[in-house]
Chain A
Amino acid sequence: MRVSAWLRHSCSVSVLVLGACGSRTGFELVAGPPDCTAAKDCDGFGDLCSPVGCVNGTCQDLAPVSCEDNNPCTSDSCDPTNGMCLHPPSTLDLDHDGHRSPLPGKAPGEPNSCGDDCDDSNPMAFPGGVEVCDGVDNDCNGIVDDGAQFSPVGDVVQVSDGTHAEPQSLGYSGGSGYMSVYSAEVDSRTSIYLHALSDTGTSTAPAVKFTPSPADAYGGPLVWIGDRYGIAWSDRREARGRTLNYEVYFNLVNPDGTKRNADLRVTNAEGFSINVALAWTGNEFVLVWQDDGISFSGQDALFAQRVDVSGAAIGGNVRLVDDDNAGQTGPTIAAGVRSLGVVWLRGDAEHHEIMFAPFDSELKALAAPVSLAGMVGTGVYPIIVHNQSEYIIAWYDPESSPTTIYGTVRGELGEEIVAPHTLTKTTMHARYPSILPYGDRSLLIWSDDRDGNTGYELYAKMIDRKLETLTPEQRLTNSIGESIDPIATFGPAGQVGVLFSDDRTGMPQAYFTHLNCLGAVAKP
């Protein structure tokens, strides 16, 4: 009984005999035993940052240690084992070039940014660096490989095995080759594979089966952050019975493709947590995906999750945009200087529109979502990249005739800089844009079936910041079948690596090709 316990601990038996507990009598009450005889008897003893003491038999909180140094460039904390203050830098230098990345929402080098590295994923980029053609903004002037042009090599290499495969991502860690990511079906099970490639696409190590569970796994955006990759994907290992259940997972990947931690399960709700995209802010990862299990309406909705540099979740899942019961699908994300740009589709398969909104580093909207396509049709599968101080967004519209690719430019807070307009001219169908930003221009790669070569081929051209054509179109592939889904990344020696899907041998497989840097870099 609780009452018995209360009596037993509050009044001695002798007091009860003399009078009621706490009664006002002429007798002096006998005090109970002291709370403590020494500090070690007190709760919290041993935490030297929040010390406790025993004063006159009573435990008391003593003055806590204050470690605040009023310096935004340090993360202040106290070590409870010794009471000493810790003031490590609040920003990272993952590429170890002596220059730290800025705080979220700050431009490199601006006051209180606590960092001046324009690209902390590459030690060859820092203020004062010498610009060379290497796919890097070496001198941090906002422009990659100033003035350089590119030439396709005209050679392709199959990088996947299995019954069939889909390219997912292409990473570059600053070495002499690439890390390709694809999902491949082997023995009737689809897994994600990481395969290290040379600068020409040949294998430099056996492909690593990254998701060893027999449950099907898809996705795999891979982001290099200076000393490791982050990767995200969906798989159905948690499915039970006949209810399909895909969950989103995250992990860190070493440069050699080995897994760094146990898989971090990001979602935990029945249904489809799929189509995950990934960005690195300079301080943490942000995942976005579509989810019909978390949303109470059963409709697909956009969710996001922050993950720290060690691969641990920061907080829980966040619903990005509450849009009543409108479907939200196919999100992609890019990290800017002052915001995170997210694009997605709103609506259903028949009636939908492409939406854009900027978010801060804590995933709070900086502006209301806006519809992008507007007068130029509907469009599907938007992509977004950050280019110097703005976002480039591109998509294609399968309902337009001919099917073509559109693009627009938005500022970091959502303002329109370049209105939506066509990026490609075709007589047939243009699809699947991929954009590589150079600061003052961008490389556009896409698929087009206009040449009568039975299927789609890959093409590339440079566009300026107004999205106008700068260079003639160059054809990257030449084969019967579909060359689609290009994924472009900067590679060694100024190369541009391209991973794509091709069914020239009968079934879709992941292939690699590249463009070489031509000409000297123009110096200011």
Chain B
Amino acid sequence: MPSFRWIALLGVAACGGSLADPSLVADAGHHRDAGHDPSMVDQMSGVVPGADAATIDAFPVYVEDACADAPLEIPPLECDPFAPNSCPQGRACYPIPPHGTDACHPGRYGTMCLRQGIGGQGSPCSDGTDCVGGFLCVKTGIGDMCVQLCRLDQFGSCMNGRICREVDVTGSEWGGCE
């Protein structure tokens, strides 16, 4: 089966779902990646849209303008969700979203103590703080739900046949029990 990446829904103004400009929807398929020079497409590929492939020379290669030397940004860490008493009573440690400034500086996840919710394993959620401490709100292929936080490097950290799956909180080695 294809892997469905779990994406954490977070505690601070993190959820997507803002309404899209309908004009963008209609045009969406025509956008080229703004981070690159679109003229290079023609220069590099020489491919004519819709052309019979028999007329296409083999292996045009597009050389990408990558983000050289993009610094590794320091994440804002206020707490550790695995550490006891990391947050005051009634609050729990949740990931907060990266602060991106451009394609080459997407930011990194941090952590923050926030008022904790009540959702347990499998409970629908829309925000990280909907879940009780020790749980993450993740966007999955089966809806947005609370899952128990686990460590990818600790085998058996999930019970009852569940598996510790990767989430997109990069740099943390955190997972969620599926």
Contact = CB atoms under 8 A, between A and B. Distances in A.
A212 to B, nearest CB: 4
Interface in B46-96: 47-54, 56, 58-62, 64, 66-67, 70, 72, 96
A508 B27 contact: no
Given A221-B2, A305-B29, A508-B152, 13 more contacts: A164-B166, A164-B173, A213-B66, A239-B98, A242-B97, A260-B59, A262-B37, A293-B18, A296-B19, A298-B18, A348-B124, A454-B156, A487-B2
Interface residues of A, number: 120
A345 B50 contact: no
Name which of B1, B17, B52, B155 has the most chain A CB atoms within 10 A of its CB.
Answer: B1
A270 B20 contact: yes
Contacts of B142: 329-330, 345, 349, 352, 380-381
A187 interface: yes
B30 A316 contact: yes
Contact of B155 (A219, A298, A455): A455
Interface stretch (A32-40, A86-94, A357-365): A86-94
Given A241-B99, A265-B31, A485-B3, A294 B20 contact: yes
Interface in B12-30: 12-21, 24-30
Interface string A77-103: 000000000001100111010000000
Nearest to A482: B163
Contacts of B72: 187-189
A270 B52 contact: no
Name which of A164, A216, A299, A485 has the most chain B CB atoms within 10 A of its CB.
Answer: A216
B2 A329 contact: no
Interface string A465-493: 00000000000000011101111000000
Given A262-B36, A275-B141, A215 B103 contact: yes
A432 B123 contact: no
B127 interface: no
Contacts of A266: 28-29
Given A348-B124, A383-B1, A214 B50 contact: no
A166 interface: yes
Contact of A263 (B36, B51, B163): B36
B31 A244 contact: no
A439 to B, nearest CB: 21
Interface in B99-115: 99-108
Contacts of A313: 29-30
A271 B16 contact: yes
Contacts of A240: 100-102
A425 interface: no
Nearest to B16: A271
Interface string B138-174: 0111111100000011011000010100101011010
B7 A244 contact: yes
A61 interface: no
A216 B172 CA distance: 14
A261 B45 contact: yes
A88 B52 contact: yes
A507 B153 contact: yes
B100 A215 contact: yes
Contacts of B13: 242-243
A487 B32 CA distance: 31
16 contacts: A163-B173, A240-B101, A249-B33, A254-B60, A260-B62, A261-B47, A262-B32, A265-B28, A268-B27, A292-B16, A398-B178, A428-B161, A432-B1, A484-B163, A501-B3, A508-B166
